[in-house]
Amino acid sequence: MTPRRQRMLVVGLVVAGVAAAVGLSLRAFQENLLYFYTPTQALAGEPPAGKRFRLGGLVEKGSVRRESGSLEVRFQVRDNQQEMTVAYSGVLPDLFRDGQGVIAMGYLEPGGVFRADEVLAKHDENYMPPEVAESLAAQGHPGKPGATVTAPN
């Protein structure tokens, strides 16, 4: 083996070794890397009990209820199977609206209501002018706006 081939082998081994190490640790830490739980996962008891976690899903259309005289707001967050009530008191981001993907940080109250202290809006990867979005909606185009939320894995 020429020295050059030897060095090539070493570089290849470094790349392969690091890739394997990263891949394995990602597999092992998948649970911790899970950025949010869907309502289905949360209702199945996947998040550790009594701990704060993030709940992600779509705002159910027409479910947003504001209490008059305060910032308190309640809405349903759903994935494609289950839904969950979220209670939140504070300012909502500009993108928060019916059908929008949201991520709420908080904990599950004993009554089954998710008490959030932070609500973030998730936008999708689609970009179009308002007129295009309107005509797509008029045609009943599936999935736009507001795609489905599926659990990872």
Partner 1 sequence: MWTWFFRLASPPHVYALAGKLGLWFLIPAFALLAVGTWGGLVLAPPDYQQGDAFRIIYVHVPSAYLSMLIYVTMALAGAIGLIWRMKLAHAVAASCAPIGASFTFAALVTGAVWGKPMWGTYWEWDPRLTSELILLFLYFGYMGLRSAYEDINQADRASAILAIAGVANVPIIHFSVIWWASLHQGPTLSKLGAPSISGAMLWPLLTMILAFTLYFLGVLALRVKGEVLAREFQSRWAEDVLRGISTAGSQ
Q: Which is nearer to partner 1, 111 or 140 (CB)?
A: 140
Q: Applying CB under 8 A, which of residues 129, 138, 140, 142 lies at the interface with partner 1?
A: 129
Residue 127 to residue 29: CA distance in whole angstroms: 33
- Range 22-81, binding partner 1 (CB under 8 A): 22, 26, 33-36, 38, 56
Q: List the beta bridge partners of residue 29.
A: none
3-class DSSP state of 40: helix
Q: How far is CA 123 from CA 21, 32, 56, 146, in A?
A: 33, 23, 12, 8
Piece of the chain touching partner 1 by CB under 8 A; list 44-52, 59-67, 68-76, 121-129: 121-129
103 binds partner 1 (CB under 8 A): yes
3-class DSSP state of 149: coil
Residue 13 to residue 84: CA distance in whole angstroms: 48
Q: Binding residues for partner 1, per CB under 8 A?
A: 4, 7-8, 10-11, 14-15, 18-19, 22, 26, 33-36, 38, 56, 92-96, 100, 103, 118-134, 145, 151-152
